[in-house]
């Protein structure tokens, strides 16, 4: 009996060791695949330019496991506010279109502090934010997100209604002055199905053609705030929210905010907002 118990114990331990080894091999294979994928993307978009670990320049907040793979919230923060991050590349390594967006901060918004948006994630993947500084140097932060099916997930809204509402916008600018500098939070919401071409229509039994926002630009009195190049890796009904500060007096005479967007069919949408001047 003791011999049998010892044998069973030994077999159980062997099985445990075997399973742990398989799990470790899986993690190693996954890490290797991710490294290979990023190596390809880096070469394609940045060539042989050096990219430094950037957590002292830029950080990113993302859920470890997404509640909804079609609308994954991402927050990017500028850590070193004196580094003047002029643009951010947002990558979702395993997406069909991995470069989810290029966010260029201009003029008044050049001293931005944080940016929030929502993306689609097609499978477990690393999400990366690459900051490019004024001196041309590149700095990267990344998070691994467990999510799957976001690019093929059916639209949340009725497609006919969504198509009719395509291009409708809500924009907001809350600005203030603390006596030293101006600050503002801008919000851009665009109604658009942002179809990926991978979604299946259960009624027609066909795939819904790709149709998505490609460019978003915001200006204040003709001065550029932000330019965004994007695609269907941004979620349905794209949302962009960002906060920035500017030099004293830079926005005191601001009167109008203008946002316009262009989609993959060449449709141009725009909306203007009279700025409630809280800066006097």
Q: What is the pLDDT of residue 12?
A: 58
Q: What is the pLDDT of residue 243?
A: 95
User: Dihedral sign, CA of 217, 218, 222, 225?
Assistant: negative
pLDDT per residue as tens digits for the range 99-110: 999 999 987 888
Instruction: Say whether pLDDT at 225 is over 50.
Output: yes
pTM (2 d.p.): 0.84
Confidence tier at 54 by pLDDT (50, 70, 90): confident
Beta bridge partners of 252: none
Q: If you average pLDDT over residues 121-143, what whole number do you get?
A: 96
Please state, for a pLDDT cut of 70, what percent of the chain lies above it. 82
- Which of residues 164 and 31 earns the better pLDDT score? 164
Q: What is the pLDDT of residue 29?
A: 44
60-64, 152-156, 175-179: the lowest-pLDDT one: 175-179
| Pair 172, 206: CB distance under 8 Å | no
- Which of residues 214 and 84 earns the better pLDDT score? 214
User: Dihedral sign, CA of 220, 251, 132, 93?
Assistant: negative
Q: If you average pLDDT over residues 121-125, what whole number do you get?
A: 97
Domain residue extents for the chain:
1-47, 49-274
Query: What mean pLDDT value characterizes the chain?
Result: 86
- Which of residues 145 and 25 earns the better pLDDT score? 145
Confidence tier at 280 by pLDDT (50, 70, 90): very low
| Pair 197, 209: CB distance under 8 Å | yes
- Which of residues 34 and 18 earns the better pLDDT score? 34
What is the number of other CB atoms lying within 10 angstroms of the CB of residue 31? 12
| Burial class of 159 by CB neighbour count within 10 A (0 to 12, 13 to 18, 19+) | middle
CATH superfamily of 49-274: Immunoglobulins (2.60.40.10)
pLDDT per residue as tens digits for the range 184-208: 999 999 999 999 999 887 777 789 8
């Amino acid at each position: 009996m003791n011999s049998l118990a010892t044998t069973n114990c030994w077999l159980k331990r062997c099985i445990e060791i075997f399973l742990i080894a398989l799990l470790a091999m899986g993690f190693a294979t996954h890490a290797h695949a991710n490294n290979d994928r990023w190596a390809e993307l880096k070469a394609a978009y940045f060539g042989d330019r050096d990219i430094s670990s950037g957590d002292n320049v830029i950080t990113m907040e993302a859920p470890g496991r997404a509640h909804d793979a079609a609308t994954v919230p991402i927050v990017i923060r500028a850590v070193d506010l004196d580094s003047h991050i002029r643009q951010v590349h947002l990558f979702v390594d395993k997406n069909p279109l991995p470069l989810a967006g290029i966010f260029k901060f201009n003029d008044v918004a050049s001293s931005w502090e944080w940016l929030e948006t929502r993306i689609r994630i097609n499978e477990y993947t690393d999400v990366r934010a690459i900051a490019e500084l004024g001196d041309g140097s590149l700095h990267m932060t990344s998070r691994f997100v467990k999510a799957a099916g976001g690019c093929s997930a059916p639209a949340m809204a009725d497609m006919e209604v969504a198509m009719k509402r395509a291009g409708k916008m809500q924009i907001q600018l809350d600005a203030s002055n603390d006596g030293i500098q101006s600050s503002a939070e801008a919000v851009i919401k665009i109604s658009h199905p942002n179809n990926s071409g991978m979604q299946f229509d259960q009624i027609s039994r066909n795939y819904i053609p790709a149709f998505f926002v490609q460019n978003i630009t915001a200006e204040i009195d003709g001065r550029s705030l932000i330019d965004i190049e994007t695609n269907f890796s941004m979620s349905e009904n794209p949302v962009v929210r960002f906060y920035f500060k500017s030099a004293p007096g830079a926005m005191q005479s601001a009167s109008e905010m203008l946002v316009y967007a262009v989609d993959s069919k060449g449709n141009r949408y725009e909306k203007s907002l009279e700025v409630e001047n809280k800066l006097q």
